Structure 1
Amino acid sequence: MIQNFQTSNTLHYSIFLLATSTKKLETESNMSSIASYYNGKSVLVTGATGFMGKVLVEKLLYCSPDVKSIYILVRPKSGQSTQERVQDMVKCKVFDRVRKVWPNFYEKIKPINAELTQPNLAIAPEDAQELLSEVNIVFHCAATIRFDEPLRQALLLNVMGTKQLLKLAHQIQNLEAFIHLSTAYAYCNRSYIDEVIYPPPMDPQKLFDLVEGMDESLIQEITPKLIGDWPNTYTFTKSLTEYVIQQEKGNLNTAIIRPSIVCCSWQEPFPGWIDQFNGPCIFLIATGKGIARIVKCNKDAVADIIPVDIAINLILAAGWYTAVQRPKSLLVYNCITSNISPFSWGEIRDVAMNILERIPLEKAFRIPNACMTQSDFTYEYWRTVSHKFPAFLYDLYLRLTGRKPRMMKMYNRLHEYMMLFDFFSSRSWEWKSDNVNMLLNHLSPKDKKLFLFDVRQLNWSAYIEYFCLGAKMHVLNEDLAGIPAAKEHLRKLRNIQYVINTTLIVLIWRVFIARSQMAQNMWYFVVQLCYKFLSYFRVSSTLRH
């Protein structure tokens, strides 16, 4: 089975690597209206070092090799300079497809030292002058995606940062399109979400002015009242950002893309690529490692997951349409799957469990097996029994062997994230996607293939397998050659579980049954009943023959 899987996986990758030949690339670009449009253009991308940003830059370089320049706004972070972050970015595996046919692809990427939270984005005058004279399209992907980001910081990065970028965009001499990456959950306080911008609960600028001079502890105290029925500061500030764009876009050709929960790639640059440890990826790995045994979730709720390459293809197609067709009003695109190709959280769990039997993760803590519940009581009970108690025992073992305890801390972090994600995994939404359908109908057959965002073609079982593979190979850095050892490890865990269960049964017998006459009588009655049933079954089988 392992050999069959590895052969199948190799075949998939060979097919996609074959598609990277220079001849085919040039042919597709010449026949594609979208790819041809970006050739010769200069593009500005914010958030290029992030998960979606890297896929966007790669797709541009792959499909439009004659793109003039890709400017990326980058800031120093975690002790790394701008240049060091870009160097790490271009070494990423996501660029392997381009690297094979164009080793010097990075020459097209031009990093600009910038900070969205600073006045004028803290861009040097000479860099700003180059952007104003060269850029043709802006893709704004930068944002803080932390659900528990402090309100002031979320406002500063998501709302005020976008306002600063719009100010710069208005000064760009030959700007043809401004594309903003939002989220399908910007208005998650509504059950039905149209492709429109809804009125905000308050003026974004007044809110920022209010919290700017406040003490952080006071802001934290009043945040729940300020965000109202939004579940977190991320979705709240994303809704405010859309309103800011609507109010301040002026005569800019603008579009907003709202992807739902973005996960690993479906096809491009290769199936299963992912490099972020958040969202459903956390639960997949925690379950696959046997760490998570209970998940706070409605198994019947629709999991609106969108592959990252689907979202990026829609973004690029919308950029082309916005620049070429110049719609009279701002268009919003709900990039979702639930209305078109629904798949529930329970179905994802069932498929993933079957896949993790064939492709287990290495060094599992326990045998993978996760239950889902909406009940607070059931969740807390099983969290205590299946999470806290084993974590306590394992930490005790680590202390006794002179090592640092870590399991209880890990389970507490898992619980915190589960509570943050509970809002999205316990309910379903209905989104309208007329603009996405309209854009799809405007594409040529070649563009529909090269910039595929028709989710009706998505096969969920195959995609979940890519997801499991991607988490294993690209997030955990585990090799497929380790599958036999991982299976052997799971076999040992099962044997240990059988021994523990048998020991518990013996203990229960000794404590509760052997000392109670009533319990003994009930036990003997059950044994006799089973004996009579087996005897009847044997007689019936003999008579039939």
Structure 2
Amino acid sequence: MAEAGKFYLFLFMFSLHHTSLNIVGFCSHLKSWITATQVTMVSIPEYYEGKNILLTGATGFVGKVLLEKLLRSCPKVKAVYVLVRKKARQTAEARIEEITSCKLFDRLREEQPDFKEKIIVVESELTQPELDLSNPIKEEFIECINIIFHCAATVRFNETLRDAVQLNVVATQQLLSLAQRMKNLEVFMHVSTAYAYCNRKQIEEVVYPPPVDPKKLIDSLEWMDDDLVNDITPKLLGKRPNTYTYTKALAESVVQEEGAKLNIAIVRPSIIGASWKEPFPGWIDNFNGPSGIFIAAGKGILRTMRASNDALADLVPIDVVVNTTLAAAWYSAINRPRKVMVYNCTTGGTNPFHWSEVEYHVISTFKRNPLEQAFRRPNVNLTSNHLLYHYWIAVSHKAPAFLYDTYLRITGRSPRMMKTITRLHKSMMFLEYFTSNSWTWSTENMTMLMNQLTPEDKKTFNFDVRQLHWAEYMENYCLGTKKYVLNEEMSGLPAARKHLNKLRNIRYGFNTILVILIWRIFIARSQMARNIWYFVVSLCYKFLSYFRASSTMRY
């Protein structure tokens, strides 16, 4: 309707200023207007048709899902060049073959059996000059690449500053250097994080000034030894919790400054979780972020966690992130905006969900659908109180772990639970900052992008998180960790439920024995203790009697 209005306005203004109508000129203007309108209405799959894509980070969580979605939803894409570094015992080709053979690609494999023919694996080292590419490969990229998706990054919160700068900043620099020479490059998409500026409470869709000059920091790290780097890291980080968020902010600055002549867009996802809908609900393949915490809670190992019940858990499904990224590249390529487009891909502002709700849904799901060989029944207490947190750590984590390891030693097996608890505490320590604070992200660009999509694209590349039903999503997420991370079959649920009932009976038995011991050791030997005990029991009995009588009278 808006386009029709523009058309009629065009006719009206034309008739006012041209009383002597030039038919040839009118037709020429009309043709130009129609052509421009048709260009803006090109669908996302139509835009990607015949395009050559360069993708980094294809072995990572975001990269592999983007690769699958791109090939499945844009089947006429010409080729996807994936930059992959080889590992000690695995070639780049073998790594991509392993990824494309996993469960994630089942749907694509069924719909397009020959999809691998479009994937061109290129061995590369992003932190090296010229990405460690041969001259023929570089020339090929310069001539044919149309779109770059830069997803490669280290997401480890405990990465050293030197390594984080190399992987998140220097690699981005090297890729930009090559991109500037590409003759047919239409858009450079950079995947960042919504927490790049977590030192702010209100985060707009703009690139903020970097905490330090990236070039000066890179130069300084070349002559500093590791001890000096470790000493200055806390001072450099300031209010940021880790090197990941710090270097992602530096990378955004590099993208804006060194890619000034390129058509650039940045997507900032918050805490990325399992898939919402595609390629199927609940897909997840790693222990990173909240997934490991959910599994630990389901196993009964995690019993307490430092978090604010009212803090927003800004989880965003991986397919929402990927759909946003593909749509943002389409929009920037078609419209070529004058500024760097930044998209805060978050949920807190449009569909808020709190950590207390996360805890409830995780525990509820794992009680109905327990994990196999659980250590204890799932139950987690969230607290922001420092003393209470350490009390629960000692009572609920360390003491049971010590007792279990003692049992393992007595039975001739190697103790392992204390090591597991120690690793869990380290992971929780890295997440405390994000579970105890909330941020407000503006999402005007996300809303604008959504409004630009055709009705069909809104279905195929859906990133409208207002439609996200959290209870259903969390259940699928938890079941996804069971099926795809732990590789547990759903057919094993009856046995898992039986095991959970056994743990419940053990807990009741232990509590009964504990009460008897307390009675025998403390209460039975003291008249005052017995009097207090009888008073408490009598009070409870009277309360229950009163409650029962009230209920009877009501009915």
- The answer to whether the aligner puts 1:525 opposite 2:535 as a matched pair is yes
Q: In the alignment, does 2:383 pair up with 1:373?
A: yes
**Partner of 1:110 in structure 2?**
120
Partner of 2:230: 220
Query: Equivalent residue of 1:333, what SS?
Result: strand
Select which of 170, 186, 189 maps to 2:180.
Answer: 170
Tell me the equivalent position of 1:25.
Answer: none
Q: 1:204 aligns with which of 209, 214, 217?
A: 214
Deviation at 1:355, TM superposition (A): 1.4
The 5-angstrom pairing of residues 69-148 of structure 1 reads 69-148=79-158
Cα contact 1:258–1:333 (8 A) shared by 2: yes
Query: Of 440, 446, 452, which residue of structure 1 is paired with 2:456?
Result: 446
User: Residue 514 of structure 2: which of 498, 504, 510 is its match?
Assistant: 504
Output the CA distance in 2 between the equivalents of 1:55 and 1:367: 33
Structure 1 CA distance, aligned partners of 2:231 and 2:433?
A: 21
Q: Secondary structure at the match of 2:180?
A: helix
Determine the structure 1 residue equivalent to 2:37: none
Shift, 1:532, TM fit: 5.8
Q: What is the match of residue 252 of structure 1?
A: 262
Alpha-carbon distance change, 486 to 246 in structure 1, aligned in 2, over 3 angstroms: same
Q: Give the aligned residue type for 1:123.
A: L
- Residue by residue over 1:488-518, the C-alpha shift from the partner in whole angstroms, topping out at 9 and shown as x without a partner, is 0000000100110000000010111101011
**CA deviation profile, 1:275-320 (whole Å, cap 9, x unmatched):** 1111111110000000000011112100000000001000000000
Give the alignment of 1:279-294 within 5 angstroms: 279-294=289-304
In structure 2, C-alpha distance between the alignment counterparts of 1:510 and 1:77, rounded to whole Å:
63
Instruction: Say which of 238, 261, 267 aligns to 2:271.
Output: 261
SS at match of 1:258: strand
Which SS does the other structure have where 2:438 is aligned? coil
C-alpha separation between the residues in 2 aligned to 1:544 and 1:422? 48
Deviations 1:357-378 (A, max 9, x none): 2111110000100000111211
- Please say if residues 367 and 377 of structure 2, whose CA atoms lie closer than 8 Å, have aligned partners that are also in contact: no
Matched-pair contact (CA < 8 Å) for 1:293–1:369:
yes
Aligned to 1:412: 422
Is residue 304 of structure 1 aligned with residue 304 of structure 2?
A: no
Kept in 1: contact 2:44–2:330 (CA 8 A): yes
Count residues with an aligned counterpart.
515
Asked whether 1:460 is paired with 2:482, we answer no
- 1:533 positional shift: 6.2
1:535: Cα distance to partner? 7.1
TM-score, normalised to structure 2's length?
0.90
> Does structure 2 conserve the Cα–Cα contact (< 8 Å) formed by 1:388 and 1:408?
yes
Q: Which amino acid aligns with 2:281?
A: P
Rate the CA distance shift 1:529–1:54 in 2: closer, same or farther, 3 A.
closer
Instruction: Return the letter of the residue paired with 2:66.
Output: L
**Which residue number corresponds to residue 243 of structure 1?**
253
Shift of 1:402: 2.4
The match for 1:3 is none
Q: What is the CA deviation profile of residues 113-156 of structure 1, one whole-angstrom value per residue up to 9, with x for unaligned ones?
A: 10011111001112112111111000000000001110011111
SS at match of 1:115: coil
Establish whether residue 421 from structure 1 lines up as the match of residue 445 from structure 2: no
1:233 matches 2:248 = no
SS at match of 2:272: strand
Q: Secondary structure at the residue paired with 2:415?
A: coil
Asked whether the equivalents of residues 187 and 329 of structure 2 are also in contact (C-alpha less than 8 Å), the reply is yes
Structure 1 equivalent of residue 194 of structure 2: 184
Instruction: Report Cα offsets for 1:341-392 as digits up to 9, x if no partner.
Output: 0000101111221111211111000010000011121111111111111111
Residue 529 of structure 1: CA displacement?
A: 4.7
| 1:531 CA displacement | 5.8
Q: How many percent identity over aligned positions?
A: 57
**C-alpha separation in 1, matches of 2:190 and 2:148:** 8
Counterpart code for 1:426: S
Tell me, in whole angstroms, the C-alpha distance in 2 between the residues paired with 1:541 and 1:420. 49
- Letter of the 1:303 partner, please give it: A
Instruction: Structure 1 unaligned segments of length 5 or more: list them.
Output: 1-30
- Could you state the TM-score of these two structures normalised by the residue count of structure 1? 0.92
- In 1, Cα distance between the equivalents of 2:266 and 2:451? 19
Contact 1:74 1:113 in 2 (8 A): yes
Unpaired stretches in structure 2, ≥5 consecutive residues: 1-40
Of 71-80 and 465-474, deviating more is 71-80
Matched, 1:66 2:76: yes
Partner of residue 341 from structure 2, selected from 328, 331, 343:
331
Residues 1:47 and 1:518: Cα distance change in structure 2 (over 3 Å): same
Tell me how far 1:189 sits from its aligned partner: 0.3
Residues 63 and 533 of structure 1, relative CA distance in 2, 3 Å threshold: closer
**1:60-95, CA deviations, whole angstroms, 9 ceiling, x for partnerless residues?**
111111110000000012421111111101101111
Matches of 1:278 and 1:291 in 2, distance apart? 17
Distance in 1, matches of 2:121 and 2:113, equals 18
Separation in 2, partners of 1:116, 1:364: 42
CA contact (8 A) 1:339 1:430 kept: yes
Corresponding letter in the other structure for 1:103 = P
Distance 1:541 1:98 in 2: 59
Q: Structure 1's 219 and 516: CA in aligned 2 closer, same or farther, altered over 3 A?
A: same
Is the aligned partner of 1:382 residue 2:392? yes
Contact 1:32-1:447 within 8 A present in 2 as well: no
1:107 CA drift (Å): 0.7
Q: Label 1:434 to 1:513 Cα distance change in 2 as closer, same or farther (>3 A).
A: same
**Counterpart residue identity of residue 230, structure 2:** Q
Question: Distance between the aligned counterparts of 2:141 and 2:208, measured in 1?
Answer: 32
Asked if 1 retains the 8 angstrom alpha-carbon contact of 2:314 and 2:346, the reply is yes
| C-alpha displacement of 1:530 | 5.4
One-letter amino acid matched to 1:117: T
Tell me: CA distance 1:402–1:62, structure 2 relative to 1, closer, same or farther (3 Å): same
Which residue number corresponds to residue 26 of structure 1? none
Q: Which residue of 2 aligns with 1:19?
A: none
CA deviation string 1:392-440 (max 9, x = no partner): 1111222222222111111111111111111111010000011111111
Structure 1 partner of 2:50: 40
Do 1:32 and 1:446's aligned partners in 2 also have CA atoms closer than 8 Å? no
- Counterparts of 1:444 and 1:385 in 2: how far apart (Å)? 56
